[in-house]
Amino acid sequence: MEFINAIILLLNYTIIPALTYGSQLALGAIFVTLVYGILRFANFATGDMMSFGTMIAVLLTFYFQSLGISFGFLPTALLTIPFAIIGMIFYMLFIDKFVFSYYRIKKSPPVQLAMVSVGVMFVTQAIIRIIIGPFDRRFFDGEKFILKATEFKEMTGLNEGLTIKSTQAITILVTIVLVSIMFWFLNRTKTGTSMRAYSDNEDLALLSGIDPKRVVLITWIIAGVLATIGGVLYGLDKSYRPFVYFNNMLPIFAAAIVGGIGNPFGAFLGGYVIAFAEILVTYAYKKFFTYILPDFLEPDSLIQLLSTDYKFAVSFSILVIVLLFRPSGIFKGKTL
Amino acid sequence: MKQYKNVIAAYTIMILLIISVGVLQSWSIALTILNYCLISAVMTIGANIQWGYAGLINFGIMGYTALGGLAAVLVNTPPVKEAWKAGGMEMIISLILIILGVYLIQFILRKLVKSKKRNYLIALIIIIGFLVVRYISGPAIENIEAVDPAKTGFLGGLGLPIIFSWIVGGLFAAGIAFVVGKIALGLRADYLAIATLLIAEIIVSVIKHEDWLSRGVKNVIGLKRPVPYEVDLQNTSWFINLVEKFHSKKLQLISSLSEKQDILNQLVIDASSVYVKLCLAGLFLTVVIILLILTQKALYSPWGRKMRAIRDNEVAANAMGKNVVKEHLLIFILGSAIVGIAGAMMVTNDGLFTPGSYRPMRYTFVIWVMVIVGGTGNNFGAILGGFVVWFLWVEAAPIALFFINFFTSHLEETNSFKAHLIESAAYFRFLLVGIGLLIIMRYRPKGLIPEKINIKKI
C-alpha cells in the first residue's frame, strides 16, 4: 500500500504536470525546429507568435461567451481554435511576404534573418499589447476536473489523491493527435517528403522540381497550426499573459536544441526532456521517501535538489550540458 | 573632414533633440534621458566590439549588466557584521571547496586519458561536491538570511565608494565571460545567440534567488552616490548663491521679499536635481570618451585588422596563422567586461539594485537594436544608435499620445476606442523600435553610420 501511495504521489505531482508542460513545450519546439530546418533561421519571435494566436482565441472566446455559445463540458476556447489558426496563418504569411521573403530570396546569412525575427518580435509584442493589454487573462470555462482527489481517495481507499485536470487531459490528447497527424504528413505524403527534401538539401530539391514557394507556404501553415494550438493549450492550463509567452520562448528553444534542431521528432521528445528535468529536479521528495523507506530512515529535510526558483535555470543547464557533449542534440539534428 | 560630415550632422541632430526635450518638457527629464543614453552607449560599445569587430553574437548582455549591478552592491554596501558572524565562515569554506573542485576536475582532465571512466569520475566529483557544499552552506544561508531580513539579510559588501564598482563590475563580467566563452564559443552564430541568452538567464536567476549574496528580489536600496545629494546642495550657501546669480535678472523683477525667497527656493530645488544629473553625466561622458578612444585605437591597430580578417573569413585567417579561437575568446571577454562596466554605471545612476528588472527584452534585444540601427563595426555609429534608440524608447509614449490625439480628435472623449488607444500608448515604443529595426535592416543594413575601412593606396 505504501508503495502504491508513493507512486500515486509521484504521478500526481510530477509525472502528469510534466507530461502536460512537456506537450506544450513540444508543440512550440516542433514549430521552432520546422522554421529552422526549412526556412533556415532561429525564430526569436516564436513566443510572441504563439501569443498572437492565443490572443485571437481569447478574444473569440470572450465573444462566443457573450453570444452564449458554449462547448458543453469542454472549454469554449477549443471551438475558437480553427478561427484562431486561420487568423494566425494570415498574420504569418503577411509577415513572411513583407519581411522574411526578401531576405530568403537574397539568400542572406541566417544571422541576419534571426535579427529580422527580433524586429518581428518587437512588432508582434506591440500589436498584442495594444490590442489586448499586458494583463493576466483566464479564458478557461467548462468542467475543471476529470478526476478529483477526494473522489479518487474514496474509490481506491488510498491516502494520496490523484487529480486530473481536464486541461491536462485535453493537452496530452490534442498533442498526441496533432503530432501523429504531422508526422504522418511529413513522412508519408508527397508534400511532406518534398518538405523534408527541401530541408535536407535545398539545391537538390529545387533541381528535382520542388516548388520552393509551396514548401514555404505549407511550412507557415503547419507552423501556424502548431503555434496556435500550443499557445492555446498553455493558456488554458495556466493563464494567458503576453509576457509569460515571450519568456516561454527560452525553454522552447532549449527543447528544440536538446532534441537536435531541424529534427521534428527530436524536438517533440526534447520538450518532454526539458519538462521532466525541470519538475523532477525541483520537486521535494520528502513525502515520497517517507512512504517507501522504513520508519527509522525517514528524512527530515525536504530532499529537494534545487529550489523551485531555479526551474528555468535547470532546463538551460541541460541545454549547456548537451551543447558541450553532443552539440548536434540528443537525437542527431543538423550539424553545427 | 568630409567623411566625418555625416557623423557630425547626426550627433548635432541628436543633441538638438535632447535639448528640445529640455525646453519642451523639463531639463531634469532631458538629463535623465542623456544619462541613460550615455550608459546605453557604453553597452553598445561592448556589443559592437563583439559583433562589429569579430562577428560574435552575444545575446547575454542582460547577464553581464546584472553582474555589473551586483558588483556595485558588493562594493558599496557596508558589511553586515552579524551576518558574517552567523554564517560567513561556512560560506568562505564552501567557496574554497568549489574552487578546489574546479581545480580537481581540471587536473583530472589534464592527467587522465579521455575515457568513459574519466567522465564518470568527473560526474561523481560534481555530485559529491554539490551535496557537500549544500550540506555546509545550507544552514549558513538560512542563518544569514535570518539576520534582520527587512533591512539586511545578506553578507553586505566592502563599503567602498561606488566608483570602484565600475572596475569590479568589468572584472566580474570578464570572469564569467571567460567561462561562458569556453563553453559556447565553438557554436555556430545563431546557436551562440541562443546559448548566451539562456546562460544569461541562468546568471540572472542566480542573482535573483541567492538572497544571502544580494538580497535577491528584495532589492538593495540606498546605494551611495559618487556625487552630492540634492538635500545637501539645497543647504549649501555657494550653490544657493550660484542659482541666485544665474537667475538674477528674473529675480530682480520681483519686488516682494518673501515672494522672492519662495521663488528662489523653488529654483534651488530644481537646480539641485539638474546639478546632480549633470555631475553624473560628466562622469559617464568621461567613461564613454575613454572607451571610445581605446576602441578606436584598437580598431585601427594591427589587432583590429586581425579581428576584421577573422570576422570576414575565418578559414583564411586561420590559414595565415591567426589563432581564431583565442582571439574570439579575448574579444568575448573584452566586450562583456565593457557591458559589465555599464551595468555598474546603471546601478550607480539609479542608486538601487533590482534583480527582478533584468529582463531580456530591455537589456538584450533593445541593446542589439541600438547596435544594428547605429552601425555595426563603427563605434561612432554604435554610440549614436544607443542615443537614438533610447531616445525613441523613452519618448515613444508622448509621441504616440500626440498622434493618437491628433488622429482621433474628431472622436468624443468617451469613445471607448480612443480611450483604449490612449491607455496603451506606452506600448507603441515596441512598435516604433521594431519597425525602426525592420526598416533599417531592409534599406540600410549597415546602419545609420556604416563601417568605413580605409585601404591605403600605394
pLDDT in tens, B140-184: 888 888 887 777 778 878 888 889 999 999 999 999 999 999 888
CB B44 within 8 A of CB B382: yes
**pLDDT of B141:** 84
DSSP secondary structure string for all residues of A102-161: HHHHTT--HHHHHHHHHHHHHHHHHHHHHHH-SS-B----S--EEE-HHHHHHHH--SS-
CA distance A151 to chain B (A): 38
**Looking at the complex, does the CB of residue B373 fall below 8 Å from at least one CB of chain A?**
no
CA distance B107 to B101: 10
**pLDDT of B2:** 62
- The answer to whether the CB atoms of A119 and B428 lie below 8 A apart is no
pLDDT reading at B227 higher than 50: yes
SS3 A144: coil
Which among A116, A123, A253 has the least Cβ separation from residue B431?
A: A123
- The answer to whether the CB atoms of B193 and A114 lie below 8 A apart is yes
Q: Which residues of B touch A99 (CB under 8 A)?
A: 438
CB A316 within 8 A of CB A253: no
C-alpha cell read off for B383: 554610440
Which among A123, A129, A327 has the least Cβ separation from residue B187?
A: A327
CB A40 within 8 A of CB A117: no
Distances in whole angstroms, Cα of residue A171 to Cα of each of A22, A27, A137, B395: 10, 10, 19, 43
Question: Hunting for cell 534582520 — which residue is that?
Answer: B148
> What b/e sequence results for B16-49 when a residue is b if at least 16 CB atoms lie within 10 Å of its CB, and e otherwise?
ebbeebbeeeebebbbbbbbbbbbbbbbbbbbbb
**Looking at the complex, does the CB of residue B124 fall below 8 Å from at least one CB of chain A?**
no
Stretch B127-152: mean pLDDT = 83
pLDDT reading at B112 higher than 70: yes
pLDDT reading at A59 higher than 70: yes
CA distance B289 to B330: 22
Stretch B286-301: mean pLDDT = 92
**Looking at the complex, does the CB of residue B149 fall below 8 Å from at least one CB of chain A?**
no
In chain A the domains, ranked by start, together with CATH numbers, are: 2-325 (1.10.3470)
**pLDDT of B424:** 85
Q: Nearest CA to B76 among B156, B192, B175, B170?
A: B156
Report residue A56's pLDDT band, with 50, 70 and 90 as the boundaries. Answer: very high
**Looking at the complex, does the CB of residue A285 fall below 8 Å from at least one CB of chain B?**
no
pLDDT digits 0-9 by tens, B79-105: 888 888 888 888 888 889 999 998 998
**Identity of the highest mean pLDDT range in A77-86, A314-323, B244-253:** A77-86
pLDDT digits 0-9 by tens, A151-195: 888 887 777 788 888 899 999 999 999 999 999 998 889 998 898
Nearest chain B residue (CA) to A110: B190
Which among A118, A130, A250 has the least Cβ separation from residue B424?
A: A130
Task: Kindly report the average pLDDT of chain A as a whole number.
Answer: 88
CA distance B88 to B94: 10
CB B69 within 8 A of CB B344: yes
**Looking at the complex, does the CB of residue B47 fall below 8 Å from at least one CB of chain A?**
no
A148 phi-psi bin (left φ>0, alpha ψ -120 to 50, beta other): beta
- The answer to whether the CB atoms of A310 and B187 lie below 8 A apart is no
CA distance B361 to chain A (A): 9
CB A284 within 8 A of CB A303: yes
Residue of A100, A106, A113, A130 to mutate when probing chain B, most B C-beta within 10 A: A130
Stretch A317-322: mean pLDDT = 84
Q: Which residues of B touch A257 (CB under 8 A)?
A: 191, 194
**pLDDT of A235:** 93
CA distance B381 to B371: 8
Query: At the topology level of CATH, where does B2-79+156-443 sit?
Result: ABC transporter involved in vitamin B12 uptake, BtuC (1.10.3470)
**Looking at the complex, does the CB of residue A82 fall below 8 Å from at least one CB of chain B?**
no
**pLDDT of B114:** 79
- The answer to whether the CB atoms of B431 and A130 lie below 8 A apart is yes
Least confident of A108-122, B155-169, B183-197, B351-365: B183-197
**pLDDT of B456:** 65
Report residue A222's pLDDT band, with 50, 70 and 90 as the boundaries. Answer: very high
**Looking at the complex, does the CB of residue B312 fall below 8 Å from at least one CB of chain A?**
no
Stretch B343-360: mean pLDDT = 91
CB B52 within 8 A of CB B372: no
pLDDT reading at A336 higher than 50: no
Amino acid at B288: V
Half-sphere exposure of B201 (CA within 13 A, CB side): 25
Which among B189, B194, B209 has the least Cβ separation from residue A253?
A: B194
Q: Which residues of B touch A129 (CB under 8 A)?
A: 424, 427, 430
CA distance B411 to B426: 21
Q: How much is the pTM?
A: 0.90
- Surface-to-core class of residue B282, CB atoms within 10 Å of its CB (0-12 exposed, 13-18 middle, 19+ buried): exposed
Strand ranges in chain A using DSSP code E only, listed in sequence order = 145-147, 164-165
**pLDDT of A45:** 93
**Looking at the complex, does the CB of residue B86 fall below 8 Å from at least one CB of chain A?**
no
- Surface-to-core class of residue B59, CB atoms within 10 Å of its CB (0-12 exposed, 13-18 middle, 19+ buried): buried
Which among A42, A125, A126 has the least Cβ separation from residue B194?
A: A42
Distances in whole angstroms, Cα of residue B49 to Cα of each of A113, B366, B381, B447: 21, 17, 12, 15
CA distance B137 to B130: 10
Q: Which residues of B touch A124 (CB under 8 A)?
A: 434
**pLDDT of A335:** 40
pLDDT digits 0-9 by tens, B381-416: 999 999 999 999 988 888 888 888 888 888 777 778
Stretch A200-224: mean pLDDT = 90
Q: Nearest CA to A172 among A49, A280, A17, A278?
A: A17
- The answer to whether the CB atoms of B190 and A111 lie below 8 A apart is yes
CB A285 within 8 A of CB A278: no
H/E element, B95: helix B81-111
A142 phi-psi bin (left φ>0, alpha ψ -120 to 50, beta other): left
- Which ipTM was obtained for this model? 0.89
Q: Between B456 and B406, name the one with better pLDDT.
A: B406
Nearest chain A residue (CA) to B210: A309
Q: Which residues of B touch A246 (CB under 8 A)?
A: 361
CA distance B38 to B32: 10
Question: Hunting for cell 540528443 — which residue is that?
Answer: A330
Q: Which residues of A touch B437 (CB under 8 A)?
A: 115, 118-119, 122
CA distance B184 to B200: 12
CA distance A109 to A41: 9
